[in-house]
Structure 1
Amino acid sequence: MQPTTSFGTFLVTFLSASMAAGSAIPYMAPQPGSFEIKRAANNGFTGRNGALALARAYAKYGVPVTDTLLEAVETLKSAHLIKRSSGNVTATPDGDDLEYLVPVQIGTPPQTLNLDFDTGSSDLWVFSSETDTSSSQGHSVYSPSKSTSAQKLDGATWSITYGDQSSSSGDVYTDVVTLGSLTVKSQAVESAQQVSAQFAQGNNDGLLGLAFSSINTVKPTQQKTWFDNISGSLDSPLFVADLRHETPGSYIFGTIPSDASNVLYAPVDNSQGFWQFSTSSDIGGSFSAIADTGTTLLLASDDLVSAYYKNVQGAREDQQQGGYVFDCSTTLPDFTFTVGDGKITVPGSLINYGQASGSECFGGIQSSGGLPFAIFGDIALKAAYVVFDSGNTQVGWAQKK
């Protein structure tokens, strides 16, 4: 495949819509050492762009993004104009289920920025008063000079570069960071000085990484994630992703909700900094997978993907549309994978990601592009309560009914 570097010029331009409104989830009363961050449905949602979701994942993990895939993104962009709205103290879906933004308070007095929760990375970086104004236009920015608790980390720098060479970089401060009911008083906040086009054109004000601190990019001394800093104050050092399809969901810190019964656990291999675990399926054998809230689709080996769509009448791989497509009237089979001694099933209805061209729809299971692991993004995560348990270095899945 021939890579291209043009992806960054428009990637996040389209990350600006949400799932349709749905029924509310029950309220969880705040408890010492645990709290819930609710998501909010975005009434401005107009459609999903499967090719964009795939291209975004490829860029994140260093898989070449082809010109053909970019053309598919453009085609679907024309068909689905995407708009965005935001919620109130909620995690707001942004851009075709691509990002989940959470209002986070930074500094004294608090400055509120909408950050992307990402279990596939470990930096807390933000647009700031140090970012060039042409790049920060339209974003809320963190201003260290307006915070009485901000302290610059002398000599500390950070830099993130994705597979398409889009990047962000800058210097580092420590400051008060509050999420929900808990506060870290001296959290590393990575202030962006340089931001590439894909970030500048997006709607999020930065990113809050929830992978392991070992892949934090601050130099010369790596910094801990917000979760690693707060985990000792939680009732249990874990958080739960309760993501939903076309209804609100939430992130829960410090406790497992009572609805998450019969949790299946698998040990995590965090040697690469990810929430990576061993699994298997009847159609794909045994393989490793990463649980990643920052990826939309379920990406797997070519053999597994091909085996899945062999069971879908009329399904075909169409490079002009970005991946596997099928007639939208088709009822898709479920996808089942193992976790520990049990199994989790992703309903076929979740695997129908959205309309592609004409009467065809884009599949939520697509090729991982040769990566040595599968990526279980939101398509898979929505099927279960997913427990990210750092205390026991394990990931848990509890099937949703």
Structure 2
Amino acid sequence: MAHYHTYTKYHRPAPEHVQKAAAADAGTGSVSATAEQYDSEYICPVTVGNDQLNLDFDTGSSDLWVFSTITPSSESSGHNLYNPNSGSSEQGETWSITYGDGSGSSGVVYADTVVVGGATVTSQAVEAATSVSSTFTSGNSDGLLGLGYESGNTCTPSQCQTFFGNFQSSASSALFTADLQSSGGSYDFGYIDASKYSGSITYVPTLQQNPSYWDFTADSDANGNAIGYSIMDTGTSLWYLPSASVSGYYANVPSAQDSSSAGGYVFSCDESLPDFSVGIGGTTFTVPGAALNFQPLGDGSGDCFGGLQVDDGLPGSIFGDVFMKNFFVVFDLGNNQVGVASQS
């Protein structure tokens, strides 16, 4: 595994014999996650067929789609491409996904080998894009690897199994973990690395009320405002909570205002933000104030956009990267639960 990680660290495809040896290592895998500017997303090296791609891991969706040689060049320029070859087979399926921000992609489906940090699936549905929206065209990722529940997959006429749905049968444990930080981080598949968290892990059951989502019930914030239905989502940059929680927090930030022009709460970049605490499964988790300053507006005003925003119009509260990069999070498919612990 150490030998394999050298290749992933330098974003190079490992030789086939190294991949196979790593895959046999107790049904586990571990992959590094690189933080993009302002921690807006985390991308990871993934081998798809014979190609090395950098994918955004998204627990809020269930499609593994990639830029490919059948993506129009006007949409794929600057990206690493998946090239279906003799080792792949077209499945006669199509797919089309639209995300909450209006971005999306669509295309056809191949079956090929996918390797994520040594975790290997030899006949994985790979959704090759024939059309990609501008949000992804201008981004740094070469596609998305959905880690949500299979029921949210968009393949038709038959749903495609997710990568982890396929891998779990050979995994040491049917779970994966996210250890995201401002400096980067990692995803581990099939095991829990005890060196990456401290104290105990607090688990809450998933509700499975919506396709794809790792949804659960959160308790309340430190001021007693109820939070309720929530989603743990690595594919969302910000943290969204009910209006009472968000307005109550920014009431303690003198320069904060709900800006119609910026589309959310902003404040002076010089502001020293207070910490913010929420309860999950009876345990209090505190996000440091510095983590709630998402990024400067870039308009010369000296204001910054808040990492905590109101969940109006969303399916519930979204615990995105602003929250998750401060904690060690377990996605336990075998027991249908989410776990949260302090990072070591």
TM norm structure 2: 0.86
**Distance change >3 Å, CA 164–CA 103, structure 1 → 2:** closer
Change over 3 Å in CA distance of 1:153–1:398 after alignment to 2: same
Q: What is the one-letter code of the residue matched to 1:34?
A: T
Give SS of 1:263's match: strand
Which residue matches 1:196?
Answer: 133
C-alpha distance in 2, partners of 1:101/1:177?
Answer: 16
**Structure 2 CA distance, aligned partners of 1:323 and 1:163?**
17
Match of 1:102 in 2: 44
Root mean square deviation, CA, Å: 1.8
Aligned to 2:250: 309
Where in structure 1 are there 5+ consecutive unaligned residues? 1-29, 39-90
AA in 2 matched with 1:282 = A
Match of 1:354 among 264, 276, 295: 295
Distance 1:244 1:192, change over 3 A: same
Residues 264 and 321 (structure 1), Cα distance of their counterparts in 2 relative to 1, 3 Å cut: same
Equivalent residue for 2:216? 277
Cross-structure match for 1:186 = 123
Alignment of 1:58-207 (within 5 A): 91-107=33-49, 110-144=50-84, 146=85, 148-154=86-92, 156-163=93-100, 165-207=102-144
Counterpart of 1:33 in structure 2 is 27
Distance 1:127 1:37 in 2: 20
Distance in 1 between residues matched to 2:118 and 2:188, nearest whole Å: 11
Give the aligned length.
Answer: 314
Percent identical: 46
2:188 matched to which residue of 1? 252
Unmatched tracts of structure 2, length 5 or more:
1-21
Gap change, CA 1:141 and 1:102, over 3 Å in 2: same
Q: Is the 8 Å Cα contact of residues 71 and 131 (structure 2) preserved in structure 1?
A: yes
- 1:95 CA drift (Å): 4.0
Partner SS, residue 168 of structure 2: helix
- 1:218 maps to 155
Shift of 1:170: 1.1
| 1:330-350 per-position Cα deviation (integer Å, ceiling 9, x unaligned) | 332222112212121111121
Structure 1 residue matching 2:169: 3-state secondary structure: helix
Find the counterpart in structure 2 of residue 321 from structure 1.
262
Task: Give the secondary-structure state (helix, strand or coil) at the position aligned to 1:228.
Answer: helix
Aligned with 2:313 (options 345, 370, 373): 370
For residue 249 of structure 1, report the CA deviation from its aligned partner: 1.3
The 5 Å alignment of 1:359-398 reads 359-398=302-341
| Cα distance in structure 2, aligned partners of 1:139 and 1:201 | 9
Q: As a proportion of its length, which structure holds more strand?
A: 2
Letter in structure 1 aligned against 2:253? V
Deviation at 1:36, TM superposition (A): 2.0
Provide the residue aligned with 2:204 in structure 1: 266
SS at match of 1:96: helix
8 Å Cα contact 2:31-2:188 kept in structure 1:
yes
**1:397 Cα shift?**
0.4
Q: 1:334 to 1:37 in 2, by over 3 A?
A: same
Listed one character per residue, the Cα deviations across residues 279-317 of structure 1 (whole Å, up to 9, x for unaligned) are: 122332141111111111111222221111112223211
